[in-house]
A and B are shown apart, each in its own frame.
Chain A
């Protein structure tokens, strides 16, 4: 099996473990867009949201020297694409009330219809976007 797939599985298990700790410990669904979006909206529990985000940002800083190969983002240098993409991701995840972690990981694992449908839609929309932008128009 491809080494990157094994790292994907190991990393995935850690992501799921984080979500399980958050659910069983705090009784909340671990969704990145919901936790950050709640801060933007001025919702309650701001302190625990900040603690969560501190962990998400802090742990890669500590681990990056050990996983130098995994630590490149290879993000496009086209700032128009970056800004449009960021706006779409921020607005879309809040309107749909979830992203890859909330609808994807936490939703699918409890067989939530909304989570499964959202995941199929955003993967489909992402696939069409990459197909058009990369293979038809050659923009990304």
Chain B
């Protein structure tokens, strides 16, 4: 059942990424390109995506997940060094290539060899992340 729900959610996500144009790197880089030919499409995608989730979060206090367990609690309010440094790194990569993790996965069958190389490099970065994060904490403690 959980697998089926995951497949359904992934299918909706993949369909949305394709239809919204978010697997087109020119649209994403166009959104980030405020000094060039700015493309506001991403704001429509983000707005459209936030709406159903806003409603879903409003439902969670009155329900339990369909497959049991509990809904995720709100994370800590702490804005730590990992959140800031990681988001800066992510933003730099996102700007460079115009791909974030969802579209990189969704477009792997039609993004050509470059798309596969991006996905492999992204997975390599994920492998390296725990070590880099620990390094970041050590620098923080030393400072």
Q: How far is the CA of A88 from the CA of B139 in the complex (A)?
A: 19
A92 and B5 alpha carbons, distance in the complex (Å): 28
Helix, strand, loop or mixed for chain B's interface?
helix
Evaluate contact between A15 and B49: CB separation under 8 angstroms: yes
A27 with B19: in contact, given A8-B45, A89-B125 (CB under 8 Å)? no
Compute how far the CA of A13 lies from the CA of B16 in the bound complex, rounded to whole angstroms.
7
Tell me the count of chain A residues lying within 8 A, CB to CB, of chain B: 107
A128 and B130 within 8 A (CB): no
Is the beta-carbon distance between B10 and A131 smaller than 8 angstroms? no
Question: Would A21 and B88 count as touching, CB distance under 8 A?
Answer: no
Name the B residues within 8 Å of A56 (CB-CB): 10-11, 13-14, 17, 102, 105-106
Which residues in window 1-42 of B have CB below 8 A to A?
Answer: 2-27, 29, 32-36, 40-42
Task: Tell me the smallest distance from the CB of B53 to a CB of chain A, in Å.
Answer: 4
Number of A-B contacts (CB under 8 A): 485
The answer to whether A21 and B5 have CB atoms under 8 Å apart is yes
Specify the main secondary structure of chain A where it touches its partner. helix
Cβ–Cβ contact A94 & B126, under 8 A: yes
Q: Which residues on A sit within 8 Å (CB–CB) of B78? A: 114
A5 touches which of B24, B41, B122 (Cβ 8 Å): B41
Given contacts A18-B9, A26-B67, A89-B99, contact A112 B15 (CB under 8 A): no
B108–A57 touching, CB < 8 Å:
yes
Chain B residues lying within 8 Å of A101, measured Cβ to Cβ, are 13, 100-102
> Which of B's residues lie within 8 Å of A, judged by CB?
2-27, 29, 32-36, 40-42, 44-57, 59-60, 63-72, 74-79, 82-102, 104-112, 114-115, 117-130, 132-133, 136
Mark A residues whose CB is within 8 Å of B.
4-30, 32-33, 36-37, 40-41, 45, 47-49, 51-61, 63-64, 67, 70-77, 79, 81-97, 99-101, 103-106, 108-110, 112-114, 117-118, 121-131, 133-135, 140
20 contacts between A and B (CB under 8 A): A8-B48, A11-B15, A15-B49, A19-B49, A24-B65, A26-B2, A26-B67, A36-B123, A58-B14, A73-B111, A75-B97, A83-B117, A85-B93, A86-B121, A87-B125, A92-B91, A100-B101, A101-B101, A109-B49, A135-B35
Pick the 7 closest A-B CB pairs, nearest first. Answer: A12-B48, A11-B20, A90-B125, A55-B10, A86-B121, A125-B91, A96-B86
Could you list 20 further interchain pairs (A-B, Cβ under 8 angstroms) beyond the known A52-B9, A90-B128, A104-B46?
A5-B41, A11-B15, A11-B45, A12-B48, A15-B13, A19-B13, A23-B57, A24-B66, A26-B9, A52-B10, A57-B105, A60-B18, A85-B93, A89-B101, A90-B126, A90-B127, A93-B86, A108-B46, A118-B83, A127-B33
